[in-house]
Amino acid sequence: MPTQVIFLYGRPGVGKLTVGEHLTAELGYRLLHNHAVVDLVTSLFPFGTPAFVALREALWHTSIEAALRAKVSGVIMTFAPEATVTDHFIPALQKRVIAGMGTLHFIELQCTDKELEKRISSEPRARFGKLRDVYKYRKLDEAGTFDKPKMPKPELVIDTTNQSPLDSARAIAKHLRQASMGHV
C-alpha cells in the first residue's frame, strides 16, 4: 500500500495539531507537526528570512521524501498557509509524493472567526510558541498573510467550531478509509 500523506491545513487556531494527534491515534500514522519544523528552523534563522524559508521547505520536503522511501503507512503533516511559504512549495510537494508512489490528501480545517479568536489566545498554544495575540492575528489577516500560498481544492473540509477534535479526526479517518476503497 502506498504511503498516504495527509496534508492537514488551516488558519492558526483551527485545531490542526490537536486533530492531527487524534488522527495519528485513529490511523497509526506519523505526525509531522508544523511547529516542530518551524521551531527547529527559528533556532537558526529569524522567521521569514530567506534562509528560514529555504531551510523550512527543505526540511518539509526531506521529511516527506524520507517517509516515502521508508514506506511508512502514512504521515499527517500539519500546515498553516501564510505568506512566507513559496508559491512553488505545494506543487513541488505534490510532484515529490507522486514520484515516491504515495498519495496526497488535502484536508482543510475551518472554524468561525469568533471561535478562532478564542482559541488563538488560549494557553495551550504557548507550548509551541504559536501565535496567541488576537490583535496581531487580525492585522496579519487584514494584510492577506494567510491567503498565500494558493492552496489546492481540499478533498474534505472539516468545521471544528462545534465538533470535538476526536470527532473531527474520526470524520477524516472515515473519509480516508472510504477513499482508499474507492467510495468517495
Residues 146 and 96: beta-carbon distance below 8 Å: no
Integer Cα distance of 102 and 176 in angstroms: 14
Integer Cα distance of 155 and 34 in angstroms: 20
The residues spanned by each domain of the chain are: 4-180
pLDDT in the model for residue 25: 96
Given pLDDT bands bounded at 50, 70 and 90, which one contains residue 183?
A: low
Largest CA distance in the chain: 46
Which helix (DSSP H) or strand (DSSP E) does residue 2 occupy? Answer: none
Half-sphere exposure of 24 (CA within 13 A, CB side): 15
Exposed/middle/buried for 162, CB within 10 Å: 0-12, 13-18, 19+? exposed
Given pLDDT bands bounded at 50, 70 and 90, which one contains residue 180?
A: confident
Enter the pTM of the model: 0.92
Q: CATH: 3.90.25.10, 3.90.1150.10, 3.40.366.10, 3.40.50.300. Which one for 4-180?
A: 3.40.50.300
Residue 34 identity: N
149: Cα separation from own chain's centroid: 13
For all residues of the chain together, what is the average pLDDT?
Answer: 93
- What are the tens digits of pLDDT across the range 85-104? 999 999 999 999 999 999 99
Nearest C-alpha neighbor of 156 from the set 172, 169, 170: 172
